[in-house]
Amino acid sequence: MTARAAYVLRGNSVGGMTRAAPDLYPHQWSWDAAFVAVGLAHVDVPRACLEMDTLLAGQWRTGMVPHIVFDPTETGYFPGPDRWGCAEVSTDAPIAPRTSGICQPPVHALAVERMLEVAGHRGGADQARLNAWLPVIYPRLLAWHRYLVRARDPGGTGRLAIYHGWESGMDNSPRWDDAYSRVTVGPELPPYTRRDTTVLTDASQRPSRQEYDRYLWIVEELKRAQYDDGKIRLSASFHTTDVFMSAIFAVANEALAGLAERLGTDEVDELLTYAERFRGGVAASVDPTSGFAVDTDLRSGASMPSDTIAGFAPLLCGGLDAKTEERLTELFRSDEWTGNPELQRAILPTTSPTSPAFRSRTYWRGPSWPVMNWFFAWMLHRRGAPTLAGPLRRASIAQLGDGQLAEYYEPLTGEPLGSRDQSWTAAAALDLLIHPDWPT
């Protein structure tokens, strides 16, 4: 499997970027690229650094890292750079490379931390290469984190705001059903032809046409606001907090503080303050009845409870008292989640199989994503929870034993779904198999 995963990453490489998938996603996605860099670090450290450099070449003047950096040689993807029109309406956007106008979860500092671990074990030229690269990448990551603090949490709540479900990385998750229901698509929505449903002809695996209309209408709203955060906060019809992204940001600030300390810069206390702020924000979002972290619709002020993996956000970053964390840990193991007897393996579906919103084949509404199983195992191990991380890692490796390296899997049958030869699945496989620090 190690050789197969490395082969997929090499096959999906286009110049300095790695396509998220060969056909369905022929560009570079933000959190995909960070995870791909972790996988690449196990086989080619210079190429791993280049992956991150290519992504950050698309960083906006504000510090935002866009969710897509477009390959100029690939013109068939929709929505492509012309639909986003970023540089045409915002002076903050780069002219080249062309990018989207939104972001994704800030896993990048965590990826660099992991890359340094890998290079440290390998030693020699790999370790020297990472050490030389760190002063180059660090200021870009710092600008990214400061953007998120300034623009996505101006009120200091410790919870990042998003303007589109795509920013969460969990595009059509039940988390966003309520918020999307309040998006009214105007008659002036430009016509479009989807590409995803021509690559994947099984409609049950993809968002519906009505959902896609809303996704694209939000893009039109963002363009009208010139991708300006201040204007978007006042005008966009989709504006919510994201507890999962906020938990990632808490841990990412810890990681970036570690990089700052390693470099001897002055931002260590600043970054640790951010980490504490967002850890507290995630903890404050926990519903006392369900024990789950809950997103909030910032337009209506309503909480948006859902039975999705995002509810486990506090397990990633900590911040709960011992009793509350133990309750959430037991829920993680329960028959509502990894202990559900109908699951093929004890892995995480994206939505609880006991939820009315569960759809076993539909994207982020039920399928199990190998990259999420790996990420949870990694974060749980990082926090010192080997009794959760170890079994999840072993089940994740077993899931990938079919060699398909699929985008996601039907959690009840194990059927591979979505794209095959998905880059971040290959990266997850490499780290699951090779990284020496996993619990036995």
pLDDT surpasses 90 at 54: yes
Nearest to 348 by CA among 330, 365, 368, 329: 368
pLDDT surpasses 70 at 201: no
Residue pair 78/193 in contact by the 8 Å Cβ criterion: yes
Tokens of 385: 């929870």
Helix (H, G, I), strand (E, B) or coil at 390: helix
d(CA 181, CA 411): 27
327-336, 357-366, 431-440: segment of lowest average pLDDT: 431-440
d(CA 310, CA 107): 15
d(CA 124, CA 346): 39
Residue pair 99/68 in contact by the 8 Å Cβ criterion: yes
pLDDT at 6: 98
Expressed in angstroms, the distance from the first to the final Cα of the chain is 19
- pLDDT > 90: what percent of the chain? 95
Q: How many CB atoms lie within 10 A of CB 236?
A: 21
d(CA 292, CA 313): 8
pLDDT at 179: 97
> Would strands 68-69 and 28-29 be described as parallel, antiparallel, or unpaired?
antiparallel
CA 35 to chain centre: 9
Confidence band, pLDDT 50/70/90 cuts, at residue 424: very high
SS3 for 83-112, per residue? HHCHHHHCCCCCCCCCECCCCCCCCHHHHH
Instruction: Point out the residues that are catalytic.
Output: 171, 407
d(CA 364, CA 351): 7
pLDDT at 206: 81
Cα dist from 63 to 137, 150, 156, 370, whole Å: 13, 10, 18, 30
d(CA 102, CA 338): 32
Q: How many CB atoms lie within 10 A of CB 175?
A: 30
pLDDT surpasses 80 at 401: yes
pLDDT surpasses 70 at 203: no
Cα dist from 104 to 45, 115, 195, 246, whole Å: 24, 20, 21, 11
Tokens of 224: 């009208």
pLDDT surpasses 80 at 309: yes
Residue pair 167/219 in contact by the 8 Å Cβ criterion: no
The packing angle between helices 124-152 and 268-284, to 10°, is: 60
d(CA 308, CA 351): 4
Q: Give the mean pLDDT of 84-111.
A: 99
pLDDT at 202: 77
d(CA 212, CA 114): 35
d(CA 181, CA 175): 12
- pLDDT (tens digit, 9 = 90+) per residue, 323-347? 999 999 999 999 999 999 999 999 9
Q: Is 314 exposed, middle or buried (0-12, 13-18, 19+ CB in 10 A)?
A: buried
Q: Indicate if the alpha-carbon torsion angle 346, 347, 348, 349 is positive or negative.
A: negative
pLDDT surpasses 90 at 118: yes
Q: Which amino acid is at 27?
A: H
Tokens of 22: 């060969």
Cis status, amide bond into 135, omega within 30 of 0 = no
pLDDT surpasses 80 at 79: yes
Spell out the domain ranges in the chain. 334-434
pLDDT at 164: 98
Which residue(s) pair with 18 in the sheet?
Answer: 13
Q: How many CB atoms lie within 10 A of CB 131?
A: 14
Q: Give the mean pLDDT of 98-120.
A: 98
Q: Give the mean pLDDT of 79-83.
A: 97
d(CA 306, CA 349): 13
- pLDDT (tens digit, 9 = 90+) per residue, 155-182? 999 999 999 999 999 999 999 999 999 9
Residue pair 238/183 in contact by the 8 Å Cβ criterion: yes
Cα Rg, the chain, nearest whole Å: 20
d(CA 400, CA 429): 7
Residues comprising the chain, all counted: 440
Confidence band, pLDDT 50/70/90 cuts, at residue 99: very high
d(CA 69, CA 17): 9
- pLDDT (tens digit, 9 = 90+) per residue, 213-269? 999 999 999 999 999 999 999 999 999 999 999 999 999 999 999 999 999 999 999
